[in-house]
């Protein structure tokens, strides 16, 4: 692996380290680039790490985009949405063409009726043969129009079903684009949006809070049992988080072994209780490796809590919750700390890691 792409194991600020590595490599700070580097170095995707390393110390944006497509195909939201938009447009245009055919068919039938009516009213010498001929013409025209209507109705039903299928797939793809593939929790992209929404009005600032949790000594788990077991631990832990959180609480995997829970409508005491419930549930859980064998050691998390009213922005809220988290780490781990804390270490990282500039 290139020396310029290595991240020191002793550096706590993984997010900042990833940004520094990208900067040294001359990589633009786009969201998709950050996602690649973060997953390669802070996650457990060894194949991605190797593939990224093979690009060399100064990878091109073209190479990075191809790598992103290879490893995060389901998360290429823009391409998926554009494709679905094209398909939806095509189906709607097909329906419009069918409706135009139906309109033309009915207009033609109406013309036949008008001519026949005019012919009958103006014909002085009607006889059986003429009437039979008129009836025959009308019968053929009517049958043809009815059959045309049936075919068009069937075709419209088919196009409508196809349109619904495209719309359903689009909803599924959008969900996948906001879902962490390992844990099935929200990913960082979805978390960023939910965080930004807190400060869109005063109500959000007054009635929201953030809980952040980080697995204690997770590197030791990976080193001892291997990354597949580490992944399995994260999946089990994610299930506990989702169980402890209410349905209206977004739960996200914000980094390798870091998680965020956005709390709405709870008091400070109740929010701390959620954090403590999470900490206790994880401490008491029996974690297993991917073959089903119980791990020897207890898995614990350190938790930080900050009320949205204590911060001025989403960035500030994340920094202060993270500050409380590291007070828990420094205080011995496996505990819950609320901001403000007595000892205030430097802010560990910025909340807004997906930047557009």
The residues near 182 (Cβ < 8 Å, ≥ 6 apart) are 43, 44, 231, 234, 235, 253
Q: What is the pTM of this model?
A: 0.58
Residues 38 and 140 placed together within one structural domain of the fold: no
The residue among 343 and 35 whose pLDDT is bigger is 35
Kindly state the DSSP code that residue 347 receives in the 8-state scheme. Answer: P
- Pick from 158, 177, 196: which residue ends a domain? 177
List active site positions. Answer: 257
Position 183 in a domain: no
Identify whether the C-beta of residue 281 lies closer than 8 Å to the C-beta of residue 301: no
> 120-131, pLDDT tens digit by residue?
666 556 666 767
The residues near 288 (Cβ < 8 Å, ≥ 6 apart) are 232, 236, 294, 295
Residues 192 and 331 placed together within one structural domain of the fold: yes
> 125-172, pLDDT tens digit by residue?
666 676 777 777 777 778 777 887 788 777 777 777 777 776 676 666
**Strand spans (E) along the chain:** 208-215, 251-253, 258-264, 301-307, 336-338
Residue 197's pLDDT band (cuts 50, 70, 90): very high
Answer whether residue 355 shows pLDDT above 50.
no
Mean pLDDT lowest among 78-87, 248-257, 328-337: 78-87
SS3 212: strand
> Which residues are bridge partners to 210 per DSSP?
262, 306
Give the pLDDT confidence score for residue 208 in this predicted structure: 96
Residues 171 and 56 placed together within one structural domain of the fold: no
For 75, counting Cβ atoms within 10 Å of its Cβ (0-12 exposed, 13-18 middle, 19+ buried), the class is buried
Answer whether residue 234 shows pLDDT above 70.
yes
> 261-296, pLDDT tens digit by residue?
999 999 999 999 999 999 999 999 999 988 889 998
Mean of the per-residue pLDDT values for the chain?
80
Give the pLDDT confidence score for residue 138 in this predicted structure: 76
Residues 300 and 323 placed together within one structural domain of the fold: yes
> Which residues are bridge partners to 338 per DSSP?
305
Quick one: what percent of the chain has pLDDT higher than 90? Answer: 35
Residues 303 and 212 placed together within one structural domain of the fold: yes
SS (H, E, C) 116-143: HHHHHHHCCCCCHHHHHHHHHHHHHHHH
Tell me which residue range forms the domain holding 58: 3-75
Count of Cβ atoms closer than 10 Å to residue 210 Cβ: 29
């Amino acid at each position: 692996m290139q020396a310029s792409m290595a991240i020191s194991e002793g550096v706590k600020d993984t997010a900042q380290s990833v940004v520094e590595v990208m900067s040294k490599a001359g990589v633009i700070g786009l969201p998709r680039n950050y996602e690649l580097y973060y997953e390669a170095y802070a996650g457990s995707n060894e194949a991605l790490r190797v593939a990224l390393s093979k690009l060399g110390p100064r990878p091109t944006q073209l190479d990075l985009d191809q790598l992103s497509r290879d490893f995060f195909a389901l998360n290429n939201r823009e391409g998926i949405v554009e494709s679905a938009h094209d398909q939806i447009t095509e189906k709607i245009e097909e329906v419009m063409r069918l409706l135009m055919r139906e309109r033309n068919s009915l207009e033609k039938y109406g013309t036949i009726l008008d001519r026949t009516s005019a012919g009958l009213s103006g014909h002085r010498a009607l006889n059986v043969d003429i009437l039979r001929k008129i009836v025959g013409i009308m019968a053929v025209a009517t049958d043809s129009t009815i059959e045309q209507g049936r075919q068009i109705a069937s075709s419209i039903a088919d196009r409508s079903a196809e349109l619904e299928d495209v719309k359903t797939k689009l909803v599924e793809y959008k969900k996948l684009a906001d879902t962490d593939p390992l844990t099935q929790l929200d990913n960082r992209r979805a978390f960023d949006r939910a965080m930004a929404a807190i400060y869109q009005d005063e109500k959000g600032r007054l009635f929201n809070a953030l809980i952040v949790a980080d697995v204690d000594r997770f590197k030791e788990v990976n080193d001892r049992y291997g990354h597949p077991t580490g992944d399995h631990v994260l999946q089990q832990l994610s299930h506990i988080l989702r169980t402890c959180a209410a349905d209206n609480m977004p739960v996200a995997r914000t980094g390798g072994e870091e998680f965020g829970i956005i709390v709405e409508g709870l008091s400070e005491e109740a929010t701390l209780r959620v954090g403590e419930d999470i900490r206790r549930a994880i401490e008491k859980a029996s974690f297993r490796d991917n073959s089903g064998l119980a791990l020897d050691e207890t898995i614990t998390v350190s938790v930080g809590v900050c009320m949205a009213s204590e911060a001025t922005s989403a960035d500030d809220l994340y920094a202060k919750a993270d500050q409380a988290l590291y007070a828990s780490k420094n205080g011995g781990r496996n505990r819950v700390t609320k901001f403000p804390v007595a000892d205030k270490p430097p802010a560990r990282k910025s909340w807004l890691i997906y930047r557009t500039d």
